C-alpha cells in the first residue's frame, strides 16, 4: 500500500487502508466461472472479463433475483455447505391492517441486486469472507397461520441445525414466534431476543387469533425463551396496544423507546440491550421490524409510525450488536412492497442484513467454527 495523505477523515482512512488488505480470490473465481458458464463476450468487447450471459455481480440490473445474487440452492439438504443461508417467509396472514408483506422476500431480493458484496466503512468483502446461498421461500399456507407456523419452524430448524447462519426475509411479524421456536429446539439453554420495533407485539391474541401483534407472547411461552431475555427497542407511538404493554410489564420484558436510546446514546443503549438479551442465555436471535424507523423512511410497511429511528441510528445500533457477540440468526419483517416508494423500505431491509453480516464477519463471528450451532 502506497503512502496515504493526511486529508482523510479517520473512518475513511481506516476504510481505505482495510481495502488494500482484502483479497480478490473469490472475485477472480467468479469472473472465471462467468466466462465458463456464460461464454466469453463478443469479439467487440474490450474487457475480456465480461461474458456473453450475465453471471455474477454485474450488471446489477441483470440476472435472477436471489439475495445479493447468491447462488440459488434448490436442494435445501445442501444448505449446511454454506456459511449463510437466506430463506424467505412470504406470509401476511397475520396482518391486522395493511397487507402485502407476502411480497417482502421478492422486494428485498430485487433491490439487493443494487448492492455489491463490499462495504467501504466496514472494510468487509462478504464475497471474500463467507459463502452464501439463497434457498428460496418456505411454502407458506395463506389461509392457515398455524400450518404456516409449523412450516416456518421446520424450515428454520433445518437451516440452523445444518450449521448455516439463517437470514429470514419476512413476511409479517407473526413469523417471529415460529422462527424462534425453530431455533430453540436446538438449545438446552436459554435464548434471548433483541427486537427492533415500534410495537410491543406481546399480547396473547388479536382479533381472536395469533397475529403479527402476538409473536413474543408465544415465543416467551417456550420453556427456554424467558421473557426476561426479551429486549424491545424503539417501542412507542399510538399503536402499542395496552394488552401487550400489560403482558410485558407482568412478564418482566425490557422496553427501550427511541428517546431512551437517543438520549442515553446509541452505544450505551446497545450495551444495555446486549446485557439483557445475553443474561444467562446461550444464543440470541435478532428480530428487525422495519417500522422501527421513522415512517418517512419506510412507507412500505403495514403500520408506519412517525417518530422512529433515523437510518444511521439503526445501522449503528445493529453494527454494535453484531460486533459484540455471535448471533443465532436474523429476521427482517414487515416489508410491504405494494406500499413502498422507490424500493426504499426494501433497501433498508437489505442494508440491515448486509451490515449485520458484515459486522459478524469483521468481529470473527462468521464463518462459524466447524461444528458450532
Per-residue model confidence as pLDDT tens digits over 188-241: 999 999 999 999 999 999 898 999 999 999 999 999 999 999 999 999 999 889
Residue 372: what pLDDT?
Answer: 53
Residue 57: what pLDDT?
Answer: 93
H or E stretch at 196: strand 190-196
- Contact assessment for residue 92 and residue 173, using Cβ atoms and an 8 Å cutoff: no
CB atoms within 10 A of CB 335: 34
Per-residue model confidence as pLDDT tens digits over 103-129: 999 999 999 999 999 999 999 999 999
Integer angstrom CA distances of residue 144 from 15, 98, 182, 271 = 48, 18, 18, 39
State the DSSP code for 346: H
Residue 201 labelled as part of a binding site: yes
- Contact assessment for residue 177 and residue 215, using Cβ atoms and an 8 Å cutoff: yes
- The residues, ordered by sequence, that sit 6+ positions from 208 with a Cβ below 8 Å of its Cβ are none
- Domain annotation for the chain: domains and CATH numbers: 67-363 (3.40.800.10)
Instruction: Indicate whether 371 pLDDT > 80.
Output: no
What is the bridge-based pairing of β-strands 84-89 and 132-137?
parallel
Residue 173 labelled as part of a binding site: yes
Residue 199 labelled as part of a binding site: yes
Q: Exposed, middle or buried: residue 36 (CB in 10 Å: 0-12, 13-18, 19+)?
A: exposed
d(CA 299, CA 280): 38
* Closest to 235 in 3D by CA, of 269, 262, 200: 200
* Closest to 213 in 3D by CA, of 221, 202, 224, 222: 202
Whether the pTM exceeds 0.85: the reply is: yes
- Contact assessment for residue 132 and residue 86, using Cβ atoms and an 8 Å cutoff: yes
d(CA 339, CA 236): 22
Residue 264: what pLDDT?
Answer: 97
Per-residue model confidence as pLDDT tens digits over 146-180: 999 999 999 999 999 999 999 999 999 999 999 99
Residue 208: what pLDDT?
Answer: 87
Amino acid at each position: 500500500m502506497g503512502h496515504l495523505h493526511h486529508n482523510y477523515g479517520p473512518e475513511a482512512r481506516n476504510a481505505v487502508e482495510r481495502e488494500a488488505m482484502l483479497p480478490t480470490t473469490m472475485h477472480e473465481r467468479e469472473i472465471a466461472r462467468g466466462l465458463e458458464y456464460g461464454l466469453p463476450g463478443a469479439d467487440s468487447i474490450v474487457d475480456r472479463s465480461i461474458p456473453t450471459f450475465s453471471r455474477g455481480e454485474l450488471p446489477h440490473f441483470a440476472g435472477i433475483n436471489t439475495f445479493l445474487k447468491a447462488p440459488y440452492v434448490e436442494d435445501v439438504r445442501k444448505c449446511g455447505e454454506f456459511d449463510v443461508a437466506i430463506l424467505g417467509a412470504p406470509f401476511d396472514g397475520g396482518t391486522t391492517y395493511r397487507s402485502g408483506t407476502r411480497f417482502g422476500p421478492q422486494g428485498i431480493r430485487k433491490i439487493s441486486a443494487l448492492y455489491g458484496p463490499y462495504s467501504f466503512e466496514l472494510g468487509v468483502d462478504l464475497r471474500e469472507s463467507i459463502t452464501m446461498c439463497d434457498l428460496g421461500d418456505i411454502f407458506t399456507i395463506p389461509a392457515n397461520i398455524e400450518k404456516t407456523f409449523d412450516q416456518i419452524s421446520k424450515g428454520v430448524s433445518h437451516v440452523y441445525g445444518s450449521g448455516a447462519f439463517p437470514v429470514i426475509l419476512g413476511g409479517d411479524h407473526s413469523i417471529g414466534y415460529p422462527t424462534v421456536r425453530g431455533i430453540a429446539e436446538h438449545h438446552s439453554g436459554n435464548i434471548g431476543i433483541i427486537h427492533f420495533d415500534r410495537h410491543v407485539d406481546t399480547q396473547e391474541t388479536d382479533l381472536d387469533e395469533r397475529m403479527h401483534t402476538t409473536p413474543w407472547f408465544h415465543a416467551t411461552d417456550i420453556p427456554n425463551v424467558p421473557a426476561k431475555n426479551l429486549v424491545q427497542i424503539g417501542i412507542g407511538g399510538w399503536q402499542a396496544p395496552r394488552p401487550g404493554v400489560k403482558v410485558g410489564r407482568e412478564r418482566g420484558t425490557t422496553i427501550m423507546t427511541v428517546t431512551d436510546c437517543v438520549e442515553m446514546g446509541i452505544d450505551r443503549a446497545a450495551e444495555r440491550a446486549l446485557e439483557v438479551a445475553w443474561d444467562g442465555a446461550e444464543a440470541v436471535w435478532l428480530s428487525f421490524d422495519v417500522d422501527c424507523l421513522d415512517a418517512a423512511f419506510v412507507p412500505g410497511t403495514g403500520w408506519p409510525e412517525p417518530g422512529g429511528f433515523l437510518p444511521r441510528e439503526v445501522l449503528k445500533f445493529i453494527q454494535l450488536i453484531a460486533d459484540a457477540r455471535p448471533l443465532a440468526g436474523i429476521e427482517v419483517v414487515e416489508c410491504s412492497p405494494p406500499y413502498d416508494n422507490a424500493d426504499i423500505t426494501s433497501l433498508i431491509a437489505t442494508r440491515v442484513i448486509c451490515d449485520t453480516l458484515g459486522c459478524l464477519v469483521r468481529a470473527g463471528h462468521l464463518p462459524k467454527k466447524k461444528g458450532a450451532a
